[in-house]
Structure formats: structure tokens, C-alpha cells
Structure 1
Amino acid sequence: MTISTLSVIFVISVFQCFWAKASDISECCASMNSTDNFNLNFLVNSKKGYEKCRWYFLKYKQSEWENWWFSNIEQFQNNVRELLGDAENVKKAVLTLERLKELQTFGRNRTRSEKQGADKLLSRMFYRLECINPLTKVVVQVAEVSQVIEPLVGLLRDPFTICRRNNSLSTFVVYEGAELQSKRFLLLSIAAPFYIHWLLQNEENTLKNSIQSSRLYKNLLPWMYEREKVNFSDAKSPLDRSNKLNILIDLGSSYFRHRDADNNSAAGLWFYEQYKRFGIQFNRIIAFEKAPLDPRTAWDQLPEDVFPYYTLINVGCETSGKFSPWVILKRIAKLHDHVVVKLDLGVPSIEGPLIHQLLNDSSVNSLIDEVFFEHRITVREMQAY
């Protein structure tokens, strides 16, 4: 199964949280060129130097636009289409969609984009860098970064997909590609801009820690592919960072290229093309699909550079045992692999428990970096689908 028209899609990053208070924060914008390694030095004040540093997830912060929808959801859920169609929401939706389309195409390369102002409409994931002196065990909070992500507004999908066309718009470009299976409103971490919030102001006697992509993890930032999921005090031995993998877990995959000759609904192909565009090649793909697939068709559709790494499990997912995707993930993934999960089974009785396990089991969520989940909803606008 590919991305369903019966529900909504949103992206989350799932990590163990370690909370700390930030102070004296100033902000600057940083970008990374997709063709060159990008370096930005963090300056850590220390008399002797702090030798061990880590990134960890801190918090999720709604944009004001998302918070407005969230705070009034009981009232709004019965007239989503009308609210999305009012002048203020249309204006915000156009700005957001144009920015997301630009980022999907060019990534975070365009540092002087005229559409960058729309970032204030996007929500943010916050990460923090901290360093520890291995001799004194003193921990220093160095800096925070916030990386933008599409806001959860309206129907939580492309706002121009289902709602009536607004004839007052000066351009109809926003309606081009607004199919039911539109993925224009998704922002992957590899393309998302980030902002730096400094915690340390004193730059004397510093240790330099670089934000940089590697040749293997081009466009993956360190809080994604080298994020620590355990506390310093919990680490008994160095984490195994060898043979890192880019893993895609596609739950409800259908065929890789199309469903009923409609490539707009081909989620596997979309993920493959989007990540490859920014230099990320999946070297392990696990695909679950309950509906019987023709084996020859399923394998013929795979690109040559996907074929050796693709595993098709043509049975339904289960919440435990050998057909549980989380059981498989825990056996093949390491903490410093980059793991992307797409969950769209079309079976709420299985999807719900799997999401619950993901959110509450640290042995699962510590392995995962990005999750795309379609939650089943019954609002009036979706009942026809």
C-alpha cells in the first residue's frame, strides 16, 4: 500500500529526550552546500578542553500558525476546508508551499532566498550540543540548533489538494501537482534549513567541534547521523560507528514504482528519488506489503542501484514476533545508522499499536531518525476518500 487518501501524513523525529535550560541565546542562520563539506565551528569555553561531545534531541516547538490550529482544534475540525480557504490561511499556505517546493528542489543551498521569510511559519525540532571533560566529568552546554519542519495545520497534508480552488489567487501555480497523493508539503531533514542558537558567549580557550557532512552522509547533519541516544554516564563502551547504514523501513509499500499506473502514489519511488537527489543512497530497504504482489512485477520495477539492497516481505506486519518491523529493525540497525520509517498500512488496529511501541520503547525509538505516519481521520472533507 502507498500513501493513503483516507488519512493524513506528517513527519516526526523520534529520540530520547534530555531536558536542560538554555540561557543567553542568540541566533544566526547557517546553510550547507550539497556538493561540499560544510564546516561551522562551535566554540567551547574550557581551561583544559572538553574532549567528548554529543548531540541530542531537546524539544519540538510549534510555529504560531500550527499552535493556532492546535489550540482551536475542537472548533476547527468540523469546518477545516472553510478555514483553509479564508484569505489569511490561504496566504500562509501559499508562502509555506512555495518555500517547501523550493527546499524539495534545491535543499538548504539557497541561503538568500526571497522565500526564506516563510520559515517563521514552519515548526522546529531543537537539538543541543554538550561536551564533557573526561577527567573532571564537568558537562558544558555548548549550543542549540533548530531545524525547520512542515507545520501540522489543516488536514495535515498539502492544503491545496482537497479544498476548493480560490479564484482570488493571483497565480494557479500552487494547484499544479496538487493531487490527492501530493507530497509537496513534506520537508525531509536532508533539505531542511537549520538555525544556530549559541549558549556560550566566551570564546577563550576553546575546543572546536564541526558541524559537517561526510562523504558517506552527504547532507545529513550530525544531530541526525551521529546523535547520541544514551547519556554520557550510561555509555559503558564506545559506540560502534563502523559500517554505517542508511535504512528505509517501508511499511505498506505496495509496488515500488506505481499503483494502478499512478506514480504520484508511489511512496517507495518518491523516497528513493528525494534522498538520492541530496546524495543519500539507501543501502538497506525493508518493505512490508500485505496485499499479494506479482513477484516479477515487484522486482522488475526496482532501479539497479536498489535491487541488491531491497527486501520485500509480502505479508502483513504484526506487533510482535518475526513479522514485527521493530523486531527486525533492532536486529539490523545500530545507534549511528540513519533510519527512515514510513508507516501506512491502512489497518488502524496494527498501525496504532506499532506507533505506541515506537513512542514508548526506547530500544525502538533510539534507532529511528525520521518517521512518516498516516493517521486515519474521519473529518468531513476526508469521508469521500
Structure 2
Amino acid sequence: MIIFIIGSLILTIIYVSHQGIIATEIFTVGSSTNCLINSKHTDQNCHWYFLNYTPSAWESSWTDNIEKLQNIVCETLANIDNLNKSVLAVERLVELQKFGRNQTESNKQSSDIFLSRMFYQQKYINPITNKSSKGVIVSQLIEPLIGLLRDPLSMCNRVNTLPASVYDGAIGQSKRFFLLSVAAPFYIHSSTPSPNNNVPMMITSNKRNTNLLPWMYERSKLNTLDTETDMRRGQNILIDLGSSYFGNWNGDTTANAGRWFYEHYKRFGIKFDRIIAYEHQALNTKTAWEYPWTNLKAIAKPYDHVVIKLDIDTPQIEGPLINEVLNDSTIHSLIDELFFEHHITVKEMVPSWGIQPGSLKDSYILFTKLRQLGIRMHSWP
């Protein structure tokens, strides 16, 4: 349960796991980058750094066996264990997409055990001595990499024993299986005592967007943030590679991207300062796709919140672009949330994708590596 009392600038968080309450903390919310409350060490600054990506046990079972499961994905999803987990996970993600982490009376919270986690740690930096010390560790939930890396109830035959309601929205272009950072719960796991014992830590928030947590705009190790002036200049940027039209794709409103991002982020009070959309059909493809990451590096800073969607249905262009993200730290350090439809050969998707290079194992490896770099990586449908 997470309770925000923004008016008085106090954030009370009751951390709950499937085993019960982990801890209760009170943080001051503000635009300051100071780490401590009521401390003489007011010249210390806080920074957040990505620690690691930890898959859930459910995800690990798929990753470890994906070569064997390549040709029996739907059959595997239909077994009772995976089916129950799929239903519970989808219901939890739908709830979070609608209400966000502020939902205080959820009866679906026990399903968080099926979700994976991104871990971050706070670091204090003393600008005078340049010494640093470690602070609180948090983890934030993200949907697991399982099945076809998309809504597990959307591409396989429906199971008659399940209530019809669980299939509401389970279409080919289903976006129910995303957990955006702005909606994802976060949990405290441990902390190192501060220089002043018994002084609580501060989790600062984006001044304009209170649902945008600080590790989503200052997690990069390349971040040389020194003053809160930099923080105030931070932008929220959406780059849509393969945008088609804002509200539809070839007339299909369920396949839209621009409107979906706009509406879902707006739901949690997040406004994009910039939306940059690329569409190859009206452009010279030889030159148009040479520049997306050049443009990204020109406009974005490590303290910006950057969301990117890549789906242009052209693997020979998508492949080099995603590999640049994977292999170039000056690119992946700028990206906070990334959505990508990875076209490979798997029988359930052949009617839509045809025969493509690569297998489902390649998708699992790619998405895991990108999450291990600190990017909230999602499989666009």
C-alpha cells in the first residue's frame, strides 16, 4: 500500500510483499537534491544508480527452458500452473495500468511475486570531499518475460474454463501486459545508515510530475548532476520510431501507439515535453533511419526521462538500431523505458511476421540484456 499526501509534501509508504509488510518509511518530497532531513550535512547531494535486474522465478523458468519451449509456447501457457499465473499477472497489471501504485486496497497484490524487479540504490556525494556513501535500495516491479513476450492470453486459443472477463482486451495488439514505471509499485529492501544516525532518507520527486520517480531520470552512472537547476531542466521525451498515425495504424485503432502513450502517461500526471515521431513510408528509408540515435543524443540529457518505441516492421533496419542501443553506452544511458517488437520465427507469430531470422531464445537474450543495462524493456505487440 502506498499513500501520497502531496499537499503537505509528505510521502508515507507502507511496503507490502506477499509475506506482509516489509517496512514503513516517511520521506519528504521536494525538488531539493539534498539527501538528509534535518541534517547539518545539507551540502550532500543524492543520486540514484541502477543496481541490477532480477527476474521472477516464473520468468526464470521460461528463460532457462526457452529452447525446449520454442515450438510449444501455447501448449505450455495452457497448463494449469502457467494459466493460473497468467490470469493473476494480467489482472494485476490491468489494475496497475488503471490505478497505478497509489491503489491502496488491492486484493491482487499477492500476484507481485510473479513480476520481475529492477533494483536501484541511492548514493550520497559530498561535493567538498568528493566522497560517496551508499544509501537506500529500492526495487520497482516490471512485467516478466514469459511466453511470447506479450499478453499471455492474447495469441493462443481461449480456455473455456476461464471466465470470459479475463479475455477482455486480449486482442492481437493487446497492451495489457505492460507495467509502466509511472504505475509500478516500488519496495524498500535495505539501507545503509546515513551519516546522521536515525535520520530518514529523502526520495525526491520530479517537481512537475510527482509519479515520475527519481531513478527514472537520474539513474545513469554518466549523470554528473550537481545542482537542482539541472533537475528542473529535465524533460520528458517520447520518441516513436514507426509511428504511423497518432490514433491508428492503417485504420486499426487498437494498433495505435502515440495516443496510447499520451493517454496512459497523462493518467498518472506525466506530460511529455517532446514527442518525436518517425514513419518510414513517406521518407527516404536509406537516410531517414541513420539519425534516430544521433537526434536522441542531441536533445536528451542523462537527467531527462526518455521513452522510446521501436516498431517499423523492417527487421533489417530495426536490428542495427537495437544493437546500437545495446552496445553504445552513450545511447542506452539516456533511455529509461523502451518498447520494441522483435520479429523472429515462432509458429504462433508466423501468420503475422512470416519467417524471420532468429528464434524466441534470441528475444529473451536481447530483452534480458537491455533490462540488465537499466532500461525498462517491454515487448511491443
TM-score by length of 2: 0.79
Figure out how many residues of one structure are paired with residues of the other and give that number: 331
Gaps of 5+ in 1: 1-28, 293-313
Question: Using the alignment, how far apart are the partners of 1:364 and 1:186 within structure 2?
Answer: 23
Name the structure 1 match of 2:172. Answer: 180
1:138 Cα offset (Å): 3.3
Q: Does residue 41 in structure 1 map to residue 15 in structure 2?
A: no
Q: Deviations over 1:227-271 (max 9, x none)?
A: 343277xx7999833432211100011111112332110011101
Which residue identity does 1:273 align to in structure 2? E
The alpha carbon displacement at 1:168 in A equals 1.6
Q: Which has the higher contact order (CA 8 A, sep 6+)?
A: 1
Match for residue 152 of structure 1 among 145, 149, 154: 145
Deviations 1:54-110 (A, max 9, x none): 101111110000000000011111100000011110100000000000000000011
Superposition map of 1:205-284 within 5 A:
205=197, 208-230=200-222, 240-284=230-274
2:185 to 190, 193, 199: 193
In structure 1, the residue matched to 2:99 is 106
Change (3 A) 1:202 1:272: closer
Question: Residue 329 in 1 paired to residue 315 in 2?
Answer: no
Write the letter of the residue equivalent to 1:347.
Answer: T
TM score, norm. by length of structure 1: 0.78
Work out whether residues 122 and 151 of structure 1, in 8 Å CA contact, stay in contact via their aligned partners in 2: yes
- Secondary structure of the 2:202 match is strand
In the superposition, relative to structure 1, how do residues 150 and 75 fare at CA in structure 2: closer, same or farther (>3 Å)? same
Is it true that 1:74 corresponds to 2:43 in the alignment?
Answer: no
Indicate the residue corresponding to 1:17 in structure 2: none
Aligned amino acid, residue 361 of structure 1: D
User: Residues 237, 285 of structure 1: CA spacing in aligned structure 2 closer, same or farther, 3 A cutoff?
Assistant: same
- CA distance 1:243–1:134, change in 2 (3 Å): closer
- CA offsets 1:155-213 (integer angstroms, 9 cap, x no match): 110111111111122x1111111110010001100000000112225785466542243
Structure 2: distance between partners of 1:350 and 1:332: 22
Task: Give CA deviations for 1:260-310 in whole Å, capped at 9, x if unaligned.
Answer: 332110011101110111111112111111113xxxxxxxxxxxxxxxxxx
Counterparts of 1:285-300 in structure 2 under 5 Å?
Answer: 285-292=275-282
Q: CA RMSD in A?
A: 2.8
Q: List gaps (5 residues or longer) in structure 2.
A: 12-25, 29-34, 353-381
3-state SS of 1:276 partner: helix
1:63–1:151 contact (8 Å) kept in structure 2: yes
Larger helix share, 1 or 2: 2
Q: Which residue is equivalent to 2:285?
A: 316
- Aligned partner of 1:165 in structure 2 is 158
Whichever residue aligns with residue 202 of structure 2, its letter is S
CA change 1:59–1:227 in 2 (3 A) is: same
Instruction: Provide the C-alpha distance between the structure 1 equivalents of 2:170 and 2:7, rounded to a whole number of angstroms.
Output: 30
The answer on 1:375 being equivalent to 2:368 is no
AA aligned to 2:285 is: G
Residue aligning to 1:309: none
**How far apart, in 2, do the equivalents of 1:218 and 1:237 lie?**
19
Decide whether aligned partners of structure 1 residues 35 and 115 sit closer, same or farther in structure 2, where only a CA change above 3 A counts: farther
